[in-house]
Structure 1
Amino acid sequence: MPRTLLLTTLTLTLAALLNTTPTAQAAATTPTCRAAKHPALARQLTRDLKTALAGRRGGVSLAVHDDRTKLDCTLTPRTRYDAASLVKVLMMEATLRRAQSRGRGPTAWERGNLAPMIRRSDNTAAGRLWNDLGRTRLGTTLTQAGATRTILGPRGYWGLTRTTAADQLRLLDKLTARRSFLSATSRAYGLKLMSEVRKNQRWGVPAGMPRGVRAHLKNGWLPRATHGWRVHSIGAFTGQGRTYRIAVLSHDNPSMAYGVRTVERVAQAVHRTLNKGRAAGIGLTPPDEISEQSDGSVPQDAPDAPERPAWYASGAPGAAARTARAR
């Protein structure tokens, strides 16, 4: 090959590699749904989710479970994302679990921080609970929930906790399942707070939800220099004789509005398939109602959290608790 042509080819190849940024890449679009007794339902939702994600940019993970049909859907459910404000659900569960272990309900101080942390995503309240609970207790809660791929954020950077869609679904399960480390009273309290999230934070997984179903949700939305906008939404849905859970995590979104639309297209597909024949009571969030402002869960100058610290044993029993003790 002539030297000039070789140099040109190398230059173009290098340029292509440099320009293939995560934001420019298409999201993975091969979700998988399974339901042993309802194969047709699983096939339909697999098709609908693939259509919902077609052409979407960025990284997307999802996990869905329907208690009635035992349907499960996943897409890269073990990929880790910066949790942003999603970690507040873990803090809530750890607080309720601690109260139970001491034979009492949550104190006035605990309730005074739990309510604003969940209802309006108050970060000051979250910081108080993070420090009060301590890393060991938070790690133990993760381990007992089976959320062993979640890594607590370094030092006081709780918004940089690294989590997965599968782990978020496991934490939601502790709020809806009878077999849980949370009592019926604690579960009811936690679900009530998540059903009272303020209006401007109720975007995401409720999109497409029919009337008569109640959403219990928490969102996270955070822009960073790496991976652009993280836009996450998780929720448990109850009513009309069924309970199901949805967790959608994403990053490399060019804007918050783009990430919200990706999450909501997934949610629409799930609600439509699980509630066939019922009209949607909630539509997509209008773009002018999406703020494009961070949830404030991480300071702008915070360093990136490590994907897998040297002392973290991925998937090993008790890994989350060891993570807590190691720091």
Structure 2
Amino acid sequence: MTHHITLRARALPLVAAAGILVPVAAGAAPASAATTPQVSCTSGKAGLAAKLQRDITAALATRSGTVAVGLHDRTTKTTCTLRATQAYDSASVVKATVLATLLWDAKKTNRYLTTRETNLATAMITKSDNAATTALWNQLGVTKVKGFLAAAGMTRTVPGSGGYWGLTRINVTDEQRLLSLITARNSVLSDNSRAYILRLMGNVVTSQRWGTPAGAPSSVSVHVKNGWLQRATRGWRVHSIGAFKGAGHDYTITVLTDGNSTMNYGVNTIQAVSKVIHRDLVPTAPTASRYTPTSTPQEAYVAVPQG
């Protein structure tokens, strides 16, 4: 039996100020009366959907900005979504897609990656190196990126134009689709390719160990790719995608945000959501060792057009 629950996320009303969403003081009328999107959860495990929906909603109740969330756990057949189709500038999260495209393209021509490509891929994922990303993006070209997106079923992802790969438009649905391809056997990516992506995402440098892994128990393997950038409108975009396996679970989490006043504000929002997801899926004793995110999160600053 699948248990389903949908409730409205409790959040402060938001209005646009200089292009950035900010909370409205109590009693003030919001600029529009748009319905707040709802956190929707389903699960094959009794009580889990309701608990996740309640806890994710509570984690976001005091957060400003626009947050999109995706969760899927294969083991308990659990899925949660919030703003699943809303589009965001990708920032460095797109680097996982660039690597998947490279491996998909190599598979089509039945070849191994060159030493240059492996060096660039390692730098791109583990250090979030922008120059390495640009080199691979230019090598592949937008046509091949679009080819991978079509093969992967990532139908709403739009590659950035003019060389601005960090302005690729992404959403929760497509990022969760990418993570599903990385974490389970499929015809798009080979088993070796999937293992390679996971290995790199599992070895990011300390300064980038933040985001969706926050609160993950020590019994779960962690694979992550984060990103952020700032633009003149809608403030800081801060994102994190992660894959987790162990303790009888196999799950992926995507959290995309914008309208953040600072980078750290977005990081804290993502980690608040992630902590309750890990806790609800894999409850452990309070003394259990957990994944501790860095206190000084960093990420490569992605170039965007001026103005």
Structure 1 length as normaliser, TM-score?
Answer: 0.82
Quick check: 1:131 aligned with 2:129?
A: no
- Please, which runs of 5 or more residues in structure 2 have no aligned partner? 1-13, 25-34
Q: Which residue of 2 aligns with 1:282?
A: 291
Residue 20 of structure 1 and its aligned partner are, at CA, apart by 8.6
Match for 1:24: what amino acid? V
Distance in 1 (alpha carbons) for counterparts of 2:37 and 2:62: 8
Asked if the contact 2:16–2:22 (Cα under 8 Å) also holds between the matched residues in 1, the reply is no
| Identical-pair percentage | 43
Number of equivalent positions: 282
Q: Which residue of 2 aligns with 1:248?
A: 255
Quick check: 1:237 aligned with 2:244?
A: yes
Residue 67 of structure 1 and its aligned partner are, at CA, apart by 0.7
Q: Which residue of 1 aligns with 2:158?
A: 151
Asked if the contact 2:207–2:294 (Cα under 8 Å) also holds between the matched residues in 1, the reply is no
Asked if the contact 2:235–2:261 (Cα under 8 Å) also holds between the matched residues in 1, the reply is yes
RMSD over aligned Cα atoms: 2.1
Asked if the contact 1:208–1:280 (Cα under 8 Å) also holds between the matched residues in 2, the reply is no
Residue 105 of structure 1 and its aligned partner are, at CA, apart by 1.9
Q: Which residue of 2 aligns with 1:110?
A: 117
Residue 183 of structure 1 and its aligned partner are, at CA, apart by 1.0
Asked if the contact 2:96–2:225 (Cα under 8 Å) also holds between the matched residues in 1, the reply is yes
Match for 1:282: what amino acid? Y
Quick check: 1:297 aligned with 2:302?
A: yes
Deviations 1:94-147 (A, max 9, x none): 111111111122111210110000000000010011111111110011111111
Distance in 2 (alpha carbons) for counterparts of 1:298 and 1:85: 10
Residue 298 of structure 1 and its aligned partner are, at CA, apart by 1.9
Distance in 2 (alpha carbons) for counterparts of 1:18 and 1:218: 29
Partner of 1:297: helix, strand, or coil? coil
Residue 248 of structure 1 and its aligned partner are, at CA, apart by 0.2
Residue 38 and residue 241 in structure 1: after superposition, are their counterparts in 2 closer, same or farther (change >3 A)? closer
Q: Which has the higher helix share?
A: 1
Residue 266 and residue 67 in structure 1: after superposition, are their counterparts in 2 closer, same or farther (change >3 A)? same
Alignment partner of 1:97 out of 97, 104, 114: 104
Residue 290 of structure 1 and its aligned partner are, at CA, apart by 3.4
Residue 54 and residue 18 in structure 1: after superposition, are their counterparts in 2 closer, same or farther (change >3 A)? closer
Distance in 1 (alpha carbons) for counterparts of 2:118 and 2:15: 51
Distance in 2 (alpha carbons) for counterparts of 1:18 and 1:34: 32
Deviations 1:7-57 (A, max 9, x none): xxxxxxxxx97759643147957311111x224111110001011101100
Asked if the contact 1:159–1:297 (Cα under 8 Å) also holds between the matched residues in 2, the reply is yes
Distance in 2 (alpha carbons) for counterparts of 1:226 and 1:39: 42
Q: Which residue of 2 aligns with 1:320?
A: none
Q: Which residue of 2 aligns with 1:45?
A: 52
Match for 1:281: what amino acid? R
Structure 2 length as normaliser, TM-score?
Answer: 0.87
Distance in 1 (alpha carbons) for counterparts of 2:122 and 2:302: 17
Distance in 2 (alpha carbons) for counterparts of 1:66 and 1:17: 34
Alignment partner of 2:21 out of 17, 23, 38: 23
- Please, which runs of 5 or more residues in structure 1 have no aligned partner? 1-15, 304-327
Between 135-144 and 20-29, report the one with greater CA deviation. Answer: 20-29
Residue 145 and residue 257 in structure 1: after superposition, are their counterparts in 2 closer, same or farther (change >3 A)? same
Match for 1:184: what amino acid? D
Q: For residues 167-316 of structure 1, what are the structure 2 equivalents within 5 Å?
A: 167-278=174-285, 279=288, 281-283=290-292, 285-286=294-295, 289-291=296-298, 295-299=300-304, 301=306
Residue 190 and residue 21 in structure 1: after superposition, are their counterparts in 2 closer, same or farther (change >3 A)? closer
Q: Which has the higher strand share?
A: 2
Partner of 1:134: helix, strand, or coil? helix
Deviations 1:58-89 (A, max 9, x none): 00001110010110000001000000001111
Partner of 1:137: helix, strand, or coil? helix
